Amino acid sequence: MWVKDLFFVPVFLLFAVHNVHDRRVLSLFFAGGSLLNAIFFACNKRVKDASTAVVMWVFSMALVWAPTVKDPGHWPYFFYFAAVVEMLCIISMITPYTVY
């Protein structure tokens, strides 16, 4: 549902702007997002929700087992990219090729 994706856009931007790189916070965020997308997939049977649930679960597990590093990497770029992808999915509703 596009409302869920519209909710995630400001969350992704918030994580990017505040340079969130704590592995515990990110893992919890991705686990919650995976659960939410799995619930939406169970209700709506959309491939987009299923694939997002799987990807977020993989990120969550990778962050749990990742070693601690001094440089947090490029998380802000990832979250900016995720926000743009979500916006493109929402905008796709006005085209005949919607992802919903």
Place of tokens 């992704």: 12
Q: What contacts 29, CB < 8 A, 6 or more positions away? A: 15
Please give the Cα distance from 72 to 31 (Å, whole number).
Answer: 19
Summarised one tens digit per residue, pLDDT across range 54-70 is 999 999 999 888 887 77
Global pTM? 0.86
Summarised one tens digit per residue, pLDDT across range 75-90 is 899 999 999 999 999 9
